[in-house]
Structures are given as C-alpha cells and as structure tokens.
Amino acid sequence: MDVSMEDRIHMSVDLLVAMTVEEIAEKEKREPSDVFPEFLGSRTASMLYDEDTKFWWNGPSHIAEVYEKEKKALEQA
C-alpha cells in the first residue's frame, strides 16, 4: 500500500490533535471526549489543518499553549 505524502501529513496532524487534546484534558482535569470538540472548533486546530502554516511542525505542548492563549483571549473579549 502506497501512502502519499499528503496522507502522511494528515495522519500526523490527526495524531498531534489526539496528543494535544490528551494534554489539555489532563491539565484541565477533564475528559478528552469533552475537550476534543472544543479544540476542533478552535482557531488553533484550523491552523494545524492548514498545511501552509506549517503549525503542525510543532509539538503537542506548544500547540496546547497556543490553544490556552486563544481560550484566554476569547474569555477576555
């Protein structure tokens, strides 16, 4: 089975999302299943799935930090 580079990137992004959601859930003491839809609806997740940003090159800890900053900014608005 030949997997294209684009498919590999998408699989990597999906794995990063899962790892990031786990990290956020652990930090917030919440269930990953509750965090997952919130994260997917965020600007941070959109950047991850936009290959042009290369944001997916970052690790889950950095991605979780960016998401936390996004949430704080939205709460203050």
The pTM for the full model equals: 0.89
Answer yes or no: are the C-beta atoms of 42 and 67 closer than 8 Å: yes
Q: What is the pLDDT of residues 9-40, one digit of tens each?
A: 889 999 999 999 999 999 999 999 999 999 99
Instruction: List all residues 6 or more positions away from 11 whose beta carbon is below 8 Å from its beta carbon.
Output: 3
Answer yes or no: are the C-beta atoms of 35 and 28 closer than 8 Å: yes
Q: What is the pLDDT of residues 56-75, one digit of tens each?
A: 889 999 999 999 999 999 99
